Structure 1
Amino acid sequence: MGRRTLTRCQFPEVHTPPPAHKVKQAGKDFTYLIVVLIGLGVTGGLLYVVFQELFSSSSPSKIYGKVFERCRTHPEVIGAFGEPIKGCGETSRRGRRQQVSHVEYMKDGLEYMQLKFYIEGSEPGLRGTVHSESKENPETGKYEFRYIFVDIDTYPRRTIVIEDNR
């Protein structure tokens, strides 16, 4: 029989990267971390703005909905414009309807919001402009209407007052 020789196991050499490579990799990792954190911050900010706009009781779109509902159900407005009544914002150059025009401002430590939008009904060629101003109630934090009125833009011009608490 042949003689067996035992040899030592040879393990491959472990290559350790030089310290400069480790520093370079750590720099890359840190840069990626910063980019991810900035992305999360921007995404969080956008989500906050969207939820604030959709679910806040003081957002322009919520107040527009309340004002439009008051106009849509007011008997004098229904008599002048006919049913159904549609509301819309400003028209862009391309003919698309845009956001309802609104202005927010502070006066005597209270927030105010003015809205302006347009309505039309089933009567052909008849259009109106709705003007509204709301004031923040300091106790509840909700907006209360100061005034809501509709200007009929065609002849004979007249104004329909829906609410006036000035």
Structure 2
Amino acid sequence: MISPSFHLVIKQCHKQWRSPLFRTIVVIHQRQLSTIEHEKQDSKKQDNDGLAQSQNSQIQKVKFTQKAQQTAKDTVYSLVVVAGVAALSGLCYVIMHELYSRETPNGIYKEASRICLENSDVQEALGLPIIVHTTPQIGSMRINNVRARTFDEKGHQSMTVSFYLTGKERSGVVAIKVQKNISNKFVYDYILVQLDKQWHSQNIVQVYPDSNPSSFRREISS
């Protein structure tokens, strides 16, 4: 059985609950609780957002580092390729210049050998056909290099070149001297063919490269 005092307390609480002040306090308390809960959620969301931003920042740093490393590698590779192309181009230029330029020992050798082969005195002295070679023996296994020597003479660059001619009747050693003129072009001082056997009582045939060979027939005694 409920005591009158307890019944009175319940009745008082009910009256207080029904009073506007009490209900206002309860609503304010509920709102405070809701606000605190929202603040906790916002704080947690901010923490999650900060963690996500930190992770994204770390990822961006890693990507930037990888990109920088790749760029550095690409730059190094590009420099290596450019250096290789430049070196190859330089080598090709040197080779092409040596093979096709007249102002080289190889160029003088080719031009002088053609002049000698077209000279009527050389043709008659050696006997056709005539073979041109850079070593004493025909078909030698040695490297077929042109024998040349460059030097300075009275302020002008000079060069001597030698090679060999072998004909049906005789053989000869060709001695050439050239000197650069004011146009920086080689001009011939002489082309001499030293014969291994006398021809018309002469051991040397002088070739005139700057004139018509058929208009000259001159031999120099040794």
| TM-score band, normalised by shorter chain | 0.7 to 0.9
Partner of 2:193: 150
The question of 1:137 aligning with 2:181 is answered: yes
Provide TM-score, normalisation by structure 1. Answer: 0.74
State the secondary structure of the residue aligned to 2:95. helix
Call closer, same or farther: CA 1:155–1:97 in 2, change over 3 Å. Answer: farther
Q: CA deviation at 1:21?
A: 2.5
After the TM superposition, which of the residue ranges 56-65 and 36-45 deviates more from structure 2? 56-65
Aligned residue type for 2:175: H
Q: CA deviation at 1:24?
A: 2.5
After the TM superposition, which of the residue ranges 97-106 and 151-160 deviates more from structure 2? 151-160
1:41 to 73, 86, 92: 86
Provide TM-score, normalisation by structure 2. Answer: 0.57
Partner of 2:120: 75
C-alpha RMSD of matched pairs (Å): 2.9
CA contact (8 A) 2:176 2:192 kept: yes
Structure 1 Cα separation of the partners of residues 91 and 81 of structure 2: 15
Aligned residue type for 2:172: G
Partner of 1:111: 157
Alignment of 1:1-166 (within 5 A): 16=60, 18=62, 19-90=64-135, 95-96=141-142, 98-123=144-169, 126-138=170-182, 140-154=183-197, 158-163=203-208
By relative contact order (CA 8 Å, sep 6+), the higher-ranking structure is 1
If you compute each CA radius of gyration, which structure gives the higher value, 1 or 2? 2
Unaligned residue ranges in structure 2 (runs of 5+) = 1-55, 210-222
CA contact (8 A) 1:91 1:98 kept: no
Any idea what the Cα deviations from partners look like across 1:10-31, whole Å, max 9, x if unmatched? xxxx965614423322231122
Unaligned residue ranges in structure 1 (runs of 5+) = 1-13
Structure 2 Cα separation of the partners of residues 94 and 74 of structure 1: 26
Q: CA deviation at 1:155?
A: 7.2
Q: How many residues align?
A: 149
More strand by share: 1
Q: Indicate the percent of aligned positions where both proteins have the same amino acid.
A: 27
CA contact (8 A) 2:136 2:164 kept: no
State the secondary structure of the residue aligned to 2:129. coil
